[in-house]
Structure 1
Amino acid sequence: MDPIEEYCRNITRREFFSKMAVGAGAIAFGDLLTRDGYASAENPLKYGQMGAPHFAPKAKRVIYLFQNGGPSQLDIFDYKPGLKQKFDQDLPDSVRQGQRVTGMTSGQNRFPVAPSIFEFKKYDNNQDGLWVSELYPHTASMAHEMCVMYGMHTDAINHVPGITFLQTGHQQPGRPAMGSWMSYGLGSANDNLPSYVVMISQGYGNMQAISSNLWSSGFLPSEHQGINFRGAGDPVLYLSDPKGMNRTDRRRMLDAIADLNQEEYHRTKDDEIMARISQYEMAYRMQVSVPELTDLSDEDEDTLALYGPDVHTPGSYAYNCIMARRMAERGVRFVQLYNRGWDQHGNLPNEIKKQCKASDQPQAGLLKDLKRRGMLDETLVVWGGEFGRGVYSQGKLTEENYGRDHHPKCFTMWMAGGGVKPGITYGQTDEYSYNILDGGIHVHDLHATMFHLLGINHEKLTYRYQGRDFRLTDVHGKIVKDILA
């Protein structure tokens, strides 16, 4: 390692302020340039492994609205009116094509077709029109901003590997999450907030368990892991000082710990020690920045109304959506919202009504809010779950009630802003929404395309671990150029 680079990596906060007063103005100017993506050989000050995007980015940040559990594309976006004539008929073998099903339906004697009971309406989206069910009127009102992708498909058929695959590019846990890769590559745009934040809201259906593995930094340095903002108590654990400790005491304690960690680093050369120092400093700064971030008193009533009546309830989807916008304003690179409750194997019509009602207005409000603030063009908003739902009923089928099992070979996601074409649909499915006829997008393709919009060549952002260069897309992934603006 170059001696100057090693010195810069290992310098403590105390040493920095004592030795680097001269030239602070130039450093600050370089900092501003770097944060806007202009780092170069002439301006080597780096934030993130890349130092600067590989090419000019369309998006500076991502808000990922992950619908945990697998929303039914048949009941929301993928309109199949012809299915009403096929009610309770067996799904043809020519359609199923021997595709695997889960253990929950593999023992069924029949696979009866279950048409959606919900009405669909065509909305203007600048193209041929977008069909959306009555469950999502607010979201449908933003059709002119959305790129709806019907041909999503994945390798996983069960929740844990499916969710893990969408977040990390691999079905087995242990790999870095997408947000961690972004943080590692592009760095932070705000010294006082994490570059990767996670928030969770509870829904109204069967809620699959999620864990911190989904926002782990894996084998990347630990300062790139996602920070989970909670819906109750302190937004971040241990944000408040213990009784009897004031901010001056906390500063002295951190300086002492940093000195000890510095000595240990010089002894072991373990980079994780430097990551630990960085995390302690971030936690200290967050004690001031997070209370300001979570205080909605500066939001006007018109803005709050965009997100719906639950906007003041911490942990609700509405609250998390407005928090996502506030974080995006403050430079957080990657905001991940986990919206639980979409695992509707039975009683789907009743559960999906509640789930959609809770999520419809907040996510539409988020798009409207970003648009009117001039932020949508530079913010990539992504919506979707780990897979879709099958056309056949799981369990008993009636004209008013049915359930749907997992379906990985065909589901719907949408994106908006951040360099994707607004007001389009992409891909086509068969009459049963069971197979993709055109415009298939694999999970690796989605990741490659998202990274492209952020100015990242997904093949070049790698990390050497155990003798191999790893990347988010592994050895796969192609950019879906047809959806790029």
Structure 2
Amino acid sequence: MFPVISRRQALQTVSAGFGYLAFSGISTRLAAQQAAGAADKPDTNPLAPRSPHFPARAKRVIFLCMQGGPSHVDTFDYKPQLNRDHGKRGRYGGSLLRSPWEFRQRGESGLWISDLFPQVAQHADDLCLIRSMQCDQPVHPGAMTQMHTGTAQFIRPSLGAWTLYGLGTENDSLPGFVSLSPPAGSSRNYGSAFLPAIYGGSKVGRGGRANRFAAGGTAESVPDIRNARLSKSQQRRQLDFVQSLNQEKLERDEFQPGVEGVIESYELAFRMQDAMPELMDTSNESRETLAMYGAEDGPTANFGKQCLLARRFIEAGVRFVEVTHGNWDQHFNLTQDHKARAEGCDQPIAGLLQDLKQRDLLKDTLVIWGGEFGRTPAAQNGDGRNHNNKGYTTWMAGGGVKGGFSYGATDEHGFEAVENKCHIHDWHATILHLLGLDHTQLTYRYAGRDFRLTDVHGNVMQDILA
């Protein structure tokens, strides 16, 4: 039998429930206000440089994002047994497919790198190959989101946003986080989620392709974001009026993160009018520099210009720059299309590494290369490979990592990581550590909980630290 509840008891219970709901709303709001405490101070710049938790090895990051999943067994993970077992049945079905490209030992370190990247291979002694990467998602959207935010299930701040939140930026006239030609429809990969909006990435170009703005170039080809109808002083007066209205709303409604974001973004946009077009005008670069990046013409021109812009951005004080290249998703026609993808980015990446070294920037700039996952050793559609999230390769250079070093390993065919496994959470923890940030301490209170990039996971890969 069910217990009998009187009307008085029912009303008491319901009224208490409304009280709990009200308390929950108040506590969430108070917690959010507390988290935004620094922003409440009128003299606090949310993008001002901040001290790291401990001495940093890297001051800034350039992330070369290879959209689509480049094949590790054809690029940086040499598998001689795969060549010997070509045509045999693979562990999970299908016929094993040997790499169409030869691998060679490069540099004094002797790292094995394939002929797909002959120019990057010349910098083998600067590369730290992480050959035991793993993520939880075997599909592109989920794996890309996890690579950038640590999760595929929820909307969370991106790696770049966390970096900017933790360290601020060194140039208040430029965005602290720039994403050059990100894939279309992937704003979560450079977004700030529940962090204040000012920490989100500024998108330049779209769709994984450089338009004339994202590729930079002459003064005529870069964006002119100034208002031709108003003088600088007139714009300032107009902006002051708009900001006074925004400030009134902020004071009236107390915690309004959207309004705070508008105020901060308007001020940044005003300052960017002069700084951004000048920075993106590469016409003053020497012919030698443009040739080094392959930025003048041919298949390397677009990505070469973007890599050059990445160097110019970090040199000007931008904290985090991401450059997207792809598509590396070859389920068929691997031999031709992987070759074309590599030809489009090999020289620009090598040029970037060389330029950073020449300018003495590589030592404290962390360069990261990688896709959302790798590809299977078994063939698909004859000349193709399927997705593989169980074991793949990324690499880092500069910024306090060991050069000419290989960390972790996949099995003899490259199906999955078997030695020193590195999950995405470990990868994120290590990147933050190189920037002087403790991933367990870099938190933001939201909805009554302290969130972090690595959630409750992640271990720093101590063995790769220089």
Q: What's the TM-score, normalizing by structure 1?
A: 0.82
Q: CA deviation at 1:310?
A: 4.3
Residue of structure 2 equivalent to 1:113: 96
Contact 2:295 2:303 in 1 (8 A): no
Q: CA deviation at 1:296?
A: 1.0
The one-letter code sitting in structure 2 at the alignment partner of 1:306 is M
Q: Give the TM-score normalised by the residue count of structure 2.
A: 0.85
Contact map agreement 1:200 1:315 (CA 8 A) in 2: no
Find the counterpart in structure 2 of residue 124 from structure 1. Answer: 107
- Once the two structures are superposed, residues 85-123 of structure 1 have per-residue CA deviations (whole angstroms, 9 ceiling, x without a partner) of 32221113xxx4xxxxxxxxxxxxx51111111111111
Paired residues in the alignment total 423
Determine if the alignment matches structure 1 residue 259 to structure 2 residue 236.
Answer: no
Aligned counterpart for 2:338 among listed residues 352, 369, 374: 352
1:191 aligns with 2:191: no
Alignment partner of 1:332 out of 310, 313, 318: 318
| Distance across 1 between alignment mates of 2:247 and 2:256 | 11
Partners of 1:268 and 1:143 in 2: CA distance: 56
Counterpart amino acid of residue 268 in structure 1:
D
Q: 8 Å contact 2:295–2:301 — kept in the other structure?
A: no
Aligned partner of 1:427 in structure 2 is: 408
Residue 286 of structure 1: how far off its partner (Å): 0.8
| SS of the residue 1:141 aligns to | helix
* TM superposition shift of 1:299: 1.4
Q: Distance in 1 between matches of 2:267 and 2:45?
A: 18
State the match for 1:321 in structure 2. 307
For 1:77, give the aligned amino acid.
F
2:229 counterpart residue number: 244
* Contact residue 121 and residue 131 of structure 1 kept, 8 A: yes
Q: Percent identity?
A: 42
Q: 1:224 to 1:315 in 2, by over 3 A?
A: farther
Q: Which shifted more, 161-170 or 222-231? A: 222-231
- State the match for 2:87 in structure 1: 88
Match runs of 1:289-300 below 5 Å: 289-300=275-286
1:47–1:297 CA distance, 2 compared to 1 (3 A): same
Q: CA deviation at 1:74?
A: 0.9
Render the CA deviation track for 1:387-441: whole Å, top value 9, x for unaligned. Answer: 000011112x2xxxx1100000110110000010111111122111112231211
- Alignment equivalent of 1:165, drawn from 146, 154, 160: 146
Classify the secondary structure of the residue corresponding to 1:284. helix
**Does residue 1:222 correspond to 2:180, yes or no?**
no
The Cα shift of 1:313 comes to 9.6
Cα distance in 1 for residues equivalent to 2:45 and 2:269: 21
Of 109, 114, 119 in structure 2, the residue corresponding to residue 133 of structure 1 is 114
CA contact (8 A) 2:64 2:370 kept: yes
2:441 pairs with 446, 460, 472, which one? 460
Structure 2 partner of 1:407: 388
Most deviating of 442-451 and 72-81: 72-81
Asked if structure 2 preserves the Cα contact closer than 8 Å seen for 1:83 and 1:115, the reply is: yes
Contact 1:48/1:187 (CA < 8 Å) preserved in 2? yes
**Displacement of 1:210:** 4.3
Report the CA distance shift for 1:245/1:137 in structure 2 as closer, same or farther (over 3 A).
same
Report how far residue 84 of structure 1 moved: 2.7
User: Quick one: distance in 1 between partners of 2:460 and 2:38?
Assistant: 39
Is this contact kept in 2: 1:47–1:186, CA < 8 A? Answer: no
The CA deviation at 1:317 is: 1.1
Q: Supply the AA of the counterpart residue of 2:100.
A: I
Letter of the 1:359 partner, please give it: C
Distance of 2:250 and 2:360 partners within structure 1: 45
| Pairwise CA distance, 1:48 | 5.4
Taking the aligned partners of 1:384 and 1:416, their CA distance within structure 2 comes to: 12
Instruction: Structure 1 unaligned segments of length 5 or more: list them.
Output: 17-44, 97-109, 202-207
Aligned-residue CA RMSD in angstroms?
Answer: 2.6
| Maintained 8 Å contact 1:53/1:454 | yes
8 Å CA contact 2:76, 2:114 repeated in 1:
yes
Question: Which ranges in structure 2 are unaligned for 5 or more consecutive residues?
Answer: 1-29, 217-221
| 1:5-62 per-position Cα deviation (integer Å, ceiling 9, x unaligned) | 9798454xxxx8xxxxxxxxxxxxxxxxxxxxxxxxxxxx775599421001010000
Change (3 A) 1:67 1:7: closer
Q: What is the alpha-carbon distance in structure 2 between the residues aligned to residue 406 and residue 312 of structure 1?
A: 30
User: 1:292/1:87 Cα in 2 relative to 1: closer, same or farther (>3 Å)?
Assistant: same
Q: 1:288 aligns with which of 274, 278, 294?
A: 274
Please give the alpha-carbon distance, in whole angstroms, between the structure 2 residues aligned to 1:73 and 1:309: 26
8 Å Cα contact 1:49/1:184 also seen in 2: no
Deviations 1:179-217 (A, max 9, x none): 11111111121011011000127xxxxxx7542121110
Residues 435 and 313 of structure 1: is their aligned pair in 2 closer, same or farther, counting only changes over 3 Å?
closer
